[in-house]
Amino acid sequence: MESDRCCCKKSADCGGSSQHVRTLSPEWDASDFLGMIRMRFGFGRMSYGMEPGLYAMGSPTPESPVLATANFKLTVDVLRRELRGRDLWILVLDTSNVNVWCAAGKGLFGTAELTRRIEATRLAEHVTRRRVILPQLGAPGVAAHKVKSQTGFHVVYGPVRAKDIPEFLDNGQNATRQMRRVAFPLRERLELTPIELRQHFFAALILVLALGLTPVIWRGWDQGLWNHGWRGAIAGVACWLAGCLLGPALLPWLPGCAFWVKGAFLGAALAAGLAMAGVVQGLMPALGAVLWLGAGVSFLLMNFTGCATFTSQSGVKLEMKAIPAQIAAGILGLVLWSTDWWL
Amino acid sequence: MRYLKNVVTLQLNEAVCIGCGRCVEVCPHAVFHIHNRRAAIVERDACMECGACARNCPVDAVTVNAGVGCVTGLINRALGRKGDCCCTADSCC
């Protein structure tokens, strides 16, 4: 995908030389697809980057537009795929391999890096119009008026999504209201679930092993596993899947505004479902399941606030006051659940 | 989808606003509108405190306690661990 690779290792040296314009092709090869899958599961995310600097797509002229982006490779891959058949310049900023929005929140995709990169690549020598198009989600890190005063480059914020860029360019670089809005559709929510599942995998595994094996202490291997343990193991897996997969998928339809409320409802409903399916038997274990599954799914879904694109930090801080209640409900629920083993 | 009501720290000083419209341009949740050549907050509860408006306001008319609304990050911070978001050495939101 990338030709004329720079001989120098350090990005600063690389971007410092104006003749070093590399090219980007819109084509994806097998390694790009594999990389995307790997990124969706969060393996090696922080090292999936590409060399910052100025790149050419197609055959850009000095009149061609300049688009700035982050050096997270998946970000650049999506961008170049959407810009098939266009002639333009791509200015890849050094964001430590982090995507645009997260990098902007940390200031990595920021005023300082943009001005530095404009100067290091001698962008003004490549184009006639001092104008650079930024992804709108880069705005939390970049002060457009400061970029203008420091480099003379006028910042235009493009659409949120790369797929809208062609229309944005054809429309005289005007973004429609819809292009500026961030939604959180099912597809995007599902794209984030593999990382959630992975992040909480070990906690879930410990829970499954604990609930599956502890009854053996009171009931012996045979009874402990085949009368009691399997129920806990299934409930543990259900808790993990509900908190990391089902909850994010059902997010708009779960009752409440706070994520901990949505999760508590889902967990309680899950406990009821397990009771109806015969996985949970008896009043005490059923009550316990409502409590600990409610608490568990509530906590897991509350963690999804970090992925959600409409949650504010002030709101999340307020939500976190539910943590002591979640811990209490979880402990009480597990005690009630365990009465099945020793009572 | 809507998040919690009446929690965000977003403030607009309309007296200072010059009506340039940058806040309308950068806001991902259409919180602002230009009304009579001045910005106005029309959807306060939709604000996610990303800070794009405040960062891009040339006259500092907008203020907000910007930050990532992320439980994992806030727990990490409370426990004194590294990474102010869910980002660790190997993963980032």
Is A249 a residue whose pLDDT tops 90? Answer: yes
Q: How far is CA A95 from CA A47, A113, A137, A200, in A?
A: 11, 8, 14, 27
Helix, strand, or coil here: A116?
helix
Can you tell me the distance from the alpha carbon of A40 to that of A45, in angstroms, rounded to the nearest whole number? Answer: 9
Burial state string for B38-68 with b = 16 or more CB within 10 A and e = fewer than 16: ebebeeebbbbbbbbbbbbbeeebbebebbb
In chain A, what residues touch B4 (CB-CB under 8 Å)? 257-258, 312, 315, 318-319
Can you tell me the distance from the alpha carbon of A148 to that of A251, in angstroms, rounded to the nearest whole number? Answer: 41
Q: In the prediction, which pLDDT does A77 show?
A: 96
Report the complex ipTM: 0.90
Closest CA to A105 of B32, B73, B60, B4: B73
Can you tell me the distance from the alpha carbon of A203 to that of A258, in angstroms, rounded to the nearest whole number? Answer: 23
Q: In the prediction, which pLDDT does A3 show?
A: 42
Question: Which of A:192-221 have CB within 8 Å of B?
Answer: 195, 199
In chain A, what residues touch B89 (CB-CB under 8 Å)? 46
Is B89 a residue whose pLDDT tops 60? Answer: no
Structure letter (DSSP) for residue A49: B
Segment A276-305 mean pLDDT? 96
Alpha-carbon torsion (A22, A24, A28, A32), positive or negative: positive
Q: In the prediction, which pLDDT does A10 show?
A: 39
Does the beta carbon of A137 lie under 8 angstroms from any beta carbon of chain B? yes
Does the beta carbon of A318 lie under 8 angstroms from any beta carbon of chain B? yes
